[in-house]
Homo-oligomer: A and B are copies of this chain.
């Protein structure tokens, strides 16, 4: 019998309880023995819950109970989750979490503690919700050197962009719809629309792929607030789609780059076909080439099922998992990581003077005009060069409304 404690009985925590109740037989078969919830830590009142006897309001009985093999952390945020998780690992218990903020912020330290105490620290559910990404990445692609990981890791903004693209909604209308459906926070939707959530997820993937800690605060992060109906119009005409892309890339010429930003990509690509709240992560391995993992990026039971898979893995496979699931701590760098590679850019300006626009931007491969707007695709250039050219445009009286990199997939 595998005995576990659930910390935090919110959406994901109660989902874990539900998955274990509904699929007890198949989970037991796969784990080799039944999985039983012995404690649920939540300070709220659950006295009318059918399993009210399981609820505790302190971490202590859990830490002190030698029968508890694994602690599931689904509180979210870093406080008190960080303290609880650290204490559980130090008490010799495996921890499985869906908490991306915790992993992005304290992952390196918690992994080191797990290794030191010969337990597992697993977090498949922190990226892609229920869609397997982290396990395939470090386990199935173990024979590959990975040069790039990129994708759509925030379902809310992808839903909004889909609504803008397919139903002609404005950003504000799409946001309202996302809020009505519970996809975006009503009071402050910035974690989603400003890319903060995606930033945490790519920090985790980048750290894992490159083996050393990438700090969220060093990752240049732009959300989708600046994307307008005009951009949807122009990009559709150009057979492109706009997606909020999180990426981490290493190449010989242009070093390491990592970021979150809206990008344009060919409408025919698999990544452009990812709509609504779905997520997709593309991984580029030197032996395998490109592979893509696609599925629902959120949802109570989907996310919970990934946590339960981690509980089973921890029971079956033990701490040797950290031979491949590990990254070393680093100090944060000063300022943001810069992208030195050349990209084609989609640029839209509030002006119809195509001649000056072309001259100032250098090479331009495609120009479209609509109302008082012009959109172009540039020849490849670095971000630094684009900045220079934008300054030149401003001096010539042309305002750049938006510039989006082309994702090469």
By a beta-carbon cutoff of 8 Å, the part of chain A in contact with chain B is 19-20, 22-23, 26-27, 29-32, 124, 130-132, 135-136, 138-145, 268-270, 273-274, 285-296, 299, 301-302, 304-306, 308-309, 312-313, 316-317, 320-321, 323-324
Find chain B residues with CB under 8 A from A308 CB.
Answer: 142-143
Bound-state Cα–Cα, A387 to B332, Å: 68
Bound-state Cα–Cα, A254 to B56, Å: 45
Do B144 and A140 touch across chains, with their CB atoms under 8 A apart? Answer: no
Which of B19, B143, B285, B321 makes the CB contact (< 8 A) with A143?
Answer: B19
Find chain B residues with CB under 8 A from A19 CB.
Answer: 143, 287
Known interface pairs A305-B144, A309-B143, A323-B30; A289-B295 also in contact (CB < 8 Å)? yes
10 shortest interchain CB distances as A-B pairs = A291-B295, A132-B140, A143-B308, A287-B305, A30-B324, A143-B305, A292-B294, A30-B142, A130-B288, A32-B323
Bound-state Cα–Cα, A306 to B139, Å: 10
Known interface pairs A31-B323, A323-B32; A132-B142 also in contact (CB < 8 Å)? no
- Name the distance in Å between A11's Cβ and chain B's nearest Cβ: 14
Kindly report how many copies of this chain are found in the complex they form together: 2
Do A312 and B142 touch across chains, with their CB atoms under 8 A apart? Answer: yes
Bound-state Cα–Cα, A183 to B12, Å: 45
Bound-state Cα–Cα, A140 to B309, Å: 6
Bound-state Cα–Cα, A131 to B131, Å: 15
Do A291 and B142 touch across chains, with their CB atoms under 8 A apart? Answer: no
Q: Which B residue's beta carbon lies closest to that of A300?
A: B287
Known interface pairs A270-B270, A270-B274; A296-B290 also in contact (CB < 8 Å)? yes
Known interface pairs A29-B324, A140-B309, A143-B312; A295-B287 also in contact (CB < 8 Å)? no
Do B316 and A320 touch across chains, with their CB atoms under 8 A apart? Answer: yes
Find chain B residues with CB under 8 A from A305 CB.
Answer: 141, 143-144, 285, 287-288
Do A140 and B145 touch across chains, with their CB atoms under 8 A apart? Answer: no
Do B23 and A287 touch across chains, with their CB atoms under 8 A apart? Answer: yes
- Name the distance in Å between A2's Cβ and chain B's nearest Cβ: 12
Q: Which B residue's beta carbon lies closest to that of A325?
A: B30
Find chain B residues with CB under 8 A from A27 CB.
Answer: 142-143
Do B136 and A132 touch across chains, with their CB atoms under 8 A apart? Answer: yes
Which of B131, B273, B324 makes the CB contact (< 8 A) with A291?
Answer: B131
Find chain B residues with CB under 8 A from A288 CB.
Answer: 130-131, 295-296, 301-302, 305-306
Find chain B residues with CB under 8 A from A292 CB.
Answer: 292-295
| 23 pairs, CB–CB < 8 Å, chain A vs chain B | A22-B287, A23-B143, A23-B144, A23-B287, A130-B288, A130-B289, A130-B291, A132-B140, A135-B136, A135-B139, A136-B293, A139-B309, A139-B313, A143-B304, A144-B305, A270-B270, A270-B294, A287-B301, A287-B304, A288-B296, A288-B301, A292-B292, A293-B294
